[in-house]
Amino acid sequence: MSFIENAVARWAELQRLQAAPGWKLTNANAWVLALFCEAFTRTRPRVPLDDFHAMTDSFLTRLRMDGVQLREDWTGRNYADDWVARRFLARPRADGKFVYELTESSARFLSYLDGFSSDKTSLNSSRLATLLDRVENLAQESNPDPAARIAVLKEEVARREDMIRALETGEAPPPLPEDTAVEAARDILDLAAALPADFKRMRDGLEKMLHNLRQEMVESNAAKGLTMGEILEADKKLRSTAEGRTYEGFTAFLNDADQQARFRAAIAEVLERDFADNLTPEDRQSLYRLISDMRDQATEIHRIYGRLSESMHTYVQSDEYRESVQLRQLIRAAEAAIHKAPRGRRRAAVVPAPQLYGSGFESLSMVRVYNPEDHAAPRTLPEPPQFTEADIHRSARTPRADRRVLADAVSRATAQRPSATVAQVFEQLPPEHRHLNSIRALLAGGSAGFDASKPLESVTFTQIDGSERTALLPAVAVAKAPEK
């Protein structure tokens, strides 16, 4: 592309960016930016709704005392609603309560503003060392020649062995100075500070996909396959972005217990060093909560994926969708027929006379006057069951039949008799194995000797909710234990 084409493409991109909330935040009052920077920090990315309103009210009081021109009738709640409408802030629900947080574009702009306005330099020994390591790793990992990569690894092994010998002989260089160590710790926090914005962009993309799917379910007449293909293609594109790759990498990290253990141990050792006293309390807290904060952000994305999966399942399986499509088609056909009908003078409303001759009874004795006192109110519904948090998280599923336990029960039941029925074997089972699947396995083992003329016997088993239920079964003799 030529210079002019590149400039025109960049101009169009910046025009789209000007309509984004992040660009509009650059034109906001300085006191708004100051409030956001102090209210939302690394250790406090979310603020409860009432707390944020109180913080904003106290800050507005101070601004009015200093003579800042503000809207007289606006409180912290009014400003917060305006910031949410302008997409400077988001107001999601967390643990059943509304909270405020920065949007993805606001978080990126405030991070840029912090680096632009602070006196911290972006060039130090820690970043230079990180830059050198990254370049060397990129050159080594992107080399297609296996022999060259092996040579580099051997050189690395030799350097490591030299360092070990130097440490053993006491000739190793001293540890990092405190200033350099503090710079390295802050560089780590700067790298981690960019992750929340990536997670928020990933979350916003998933929320948009979920909203589009629900709109398709309600309004669209497109085929299910077409809509599902669009959703899956959007998910594929989202995962291929930089934010999607960040989320995929962090998910792989969460699934690796060994990496998590090493990472936590390294953070604990860093916080125990003497140079950690030179870090601010906020920086130390950010290092300590680094994994848990990222885990919370990843959990939100997992939760949205769950909602998206449920909506897709409903979209594919629900019969109501097909009925709603048919209903919309009939409504549109009726509307089209109304528009095509000739427009005549509107007739006055006419109340038709009652048709006494069209009765459906043969005698006056069949007619009864309705007495409200004879109305029997329907029986009240029972109270809904009370569930605890443990009941909500446990898996309500009947376990599988344990073949080994069933074989032991058959052996005990047939020890003193030639054969035993299902009920006799069921009594020998431990309480936790007296469920429906054990009965099925015993019936399958004795199905060869089934006879419909045999008498019935009762078996009491435990259901998944803890209640007991009695089943009537034919007296089938279990001749052998189920196969293991």
Task: Give the Cα-Cα-Cα angle 323, 328, 334 (nearest 5 degrees).
Answer: 125
Over residues 142-168, the pLDDT tens digits come to 888 888 889 888 988 998 888 888 888
Over residues 107-138, the pLDDT tens digits come to 888 877 876 655 555 555 666 676 677 777 77
Pairing of strands 420-421, 477-478: antiparallel
Q: Which residues of 173-212 are buried (b: 16+ CB within 10 A; e: fewer)?
A: eeeeeeeebbbbbbbbbeebeebbbbbbbbbbbbbebbee
Predicted confidence at residue 386, as pLDDT, reads: 76
CA distances from 217 to 127, 206, 237, 418 (A): 50, 17, 22, 63
Sorted by where each begins, the domain ranges of the chain are 3-115, 120-173, 178-335, 403-478
Lookup: tokens for 111: 């991070």
* pLDDT beyond 80 at 429: yes
Backbone phi and psi for residue 477, each to the nearest 5 degrees, phi listed first: -85, 125
CA pseudo-torsion sign 131, 133, 138, 144 = positive
Over residues 22-78, the pLDDT tens digits come to 778 888 888 999 999 889 887 788 899 999 999 999 999 999 998 888 888 899 999
Over residues 240-257, the pLDDT tens digits come to 776 677 667 777 777 778
Query: What is the architecture of the domain spanning 3-115?
Result: Orthogonal Bundle (1.10)
Question: How far, rounded to the nearest angstrom, does the alpha carbon of residue 145 sit from its chain's CA centroid?
Answer: 42
Percent of the chain with pLDDT over 70: 73
Lookup: tokens for 81: 């609603």
Tell me the sheet residues that pair with 460.
470
Q: What is the Cα–Cα distance from 44 to 156, expressed in whole angstroms?
A: 41
